[in-house]
Amino acid sequence: MTQTESSSLHEKMMKRGGLRAELRAANALSIKQWRVEFSYPLSVLYFIVMPFLWFLPMLLAGTAVAGSPTSSVFGTYTGTTDWVTYIAIGSAFSGLAMSLFWGTGMAFRREQNVGTLETLMTTPIRRDTIVWGTMLHNVQHGGLGVILQLIFSVLFFGATLNLWGVFPALGIVVLAVIGMQGIVFALTCIVLLAKQGWMIIEVVSEVFLIIAPISYPIVVLPPILQYVSLASPLTWSVDAFRSFLMYGFLAPGIIQAVAALLIIDILFIVVGSLLFKYTERYVRAQGALSQF
């Protein structure tokens, strides 16, 4: 290799930069994560049966009290008597949320455990790109889970979907991901700062899931939790996502949900990003990147 060639390689890289470079890096991180996951054969199996395993106990518990796939009590709470479809869509969506909270929230810990975190940090990508890249992977991973679970629910459990709602529902997924990414940045901070961070992640993500209308409307929650629930991006995302898939384009209350989601998204992503920025600096000042 001659000297001129070699210096041009470096110069070329220096010129590239910008959003495109970050996107490329995020995509590379996502592909890498798929490769790593597929080297564990059991995780592939898990991925296929997971939708069943999450949804089945819910369905059984519902059946134990309702005795049929419709419930008039449920209708008075939610406007639909079809509780099976309601919780099928809700729990499918919660798969995406879990994938983002756990998969992305723990990304730094995972890279640290395998020993590659510092290497990633010495590359010229932005540090939050590591989080975004992992998010990209988990949106693909979790998204595939949502699709699988919805298909299973329709084929085997009698859920009914309105296909006109699929495209607007995808739009909601985009908005949902932005808000949840705010939460994920905060979770990443916890992972960076606390040794037993996974425990806090478990509690935080479970709380977000409990106060969200995933398999029940929030009116069955205690009143205080109902107010807290309204501040969570997950609450509005699940509702809007489900409304589109159940009622199509002209879902009721959808404008309010989208507006609320937009406001909450901005708030969450700004606060989350700032938290991450300062925590990451703090951890480097502590010199604790390799041993946190």
CB–CB of 215/90 below 8 Å?
A: yes
Residue 83: how many other CB atoms lie within 10 Å: 25
Residues 141-180 that bind other proteins (CB under 8 A): none
Residue 35 beta carbon to other proteins: minimum distance, rounded to whole angstroms? 6
User: Which residue, 38 or 249, is less far from other proteins as judged by CB?
Assistant: 38
Question: Which of 147, 202, 270, 274 forms a contact with other proteins (CB under 8 A)?
Answer: 202
Residue 74: how many other CB atoms lie within 10 Å: 20
How far from the centroid of its chain's Cα atoms is residue 13's Cα?
32
CB–CB of 26/129 below 8 Å?
A: yes
Say whether residue 71 binds other proteins (CB under 8 A): yes
Residue 177 beta carbon to other proteins: minimum distance, rounded to whole angstroms? 22
Residue 8 beta carbon to other proteins: minimum distance, rounded to whole angstroms? 9
Half-sphere exposure of 216 (CA within 13 A, CB side): 14
User: Which residue, 87 or 177, is less far from other proteins as judged by CB?
Assistant: 87
Say whether residue 132 binds other proteins (CB under 8 A): no
User: Which residue, 45 or 266, is less far from other proteins as judged by CB?
Assistant: 45
Say whether residue 48 binds other proteins (CB under 8 A): no
CB–CB of 104/131 below 8 Å?
A: yes
Say whether residue 195 binds other proteins (CB under 8 A): no
From residue 121, how far is each of 106, 118, 147, 289 by CA, in Å? 16, 5, 34, 10
Say whether residue 214 binds other proteins (CB under 8 A): yes
Say whether residue 19 binds other proteins (CB under 8 A): no
Residues 222-281 that bind other proteins (CB under 8 A): 281
Residue 154 beta carbon to other proteins: minimum distance, rounded to whole angstroms? 19
Cα separation, 121 vs 190, in Å, equals 18
Say whether residue 64 binds other proteins (CB under 8 A): yes
Residue 119: how many other CB atoms lie within 10 Å: 9
CB–CB of 92/154 below 8 Å?
A: no
Say whether residue 6 binds other proteins (CB under 8 A): yes
Question: Which of 98, 108, 122, 139 forms a contact with other proteins (CB under 8 A)?
Answer: 122
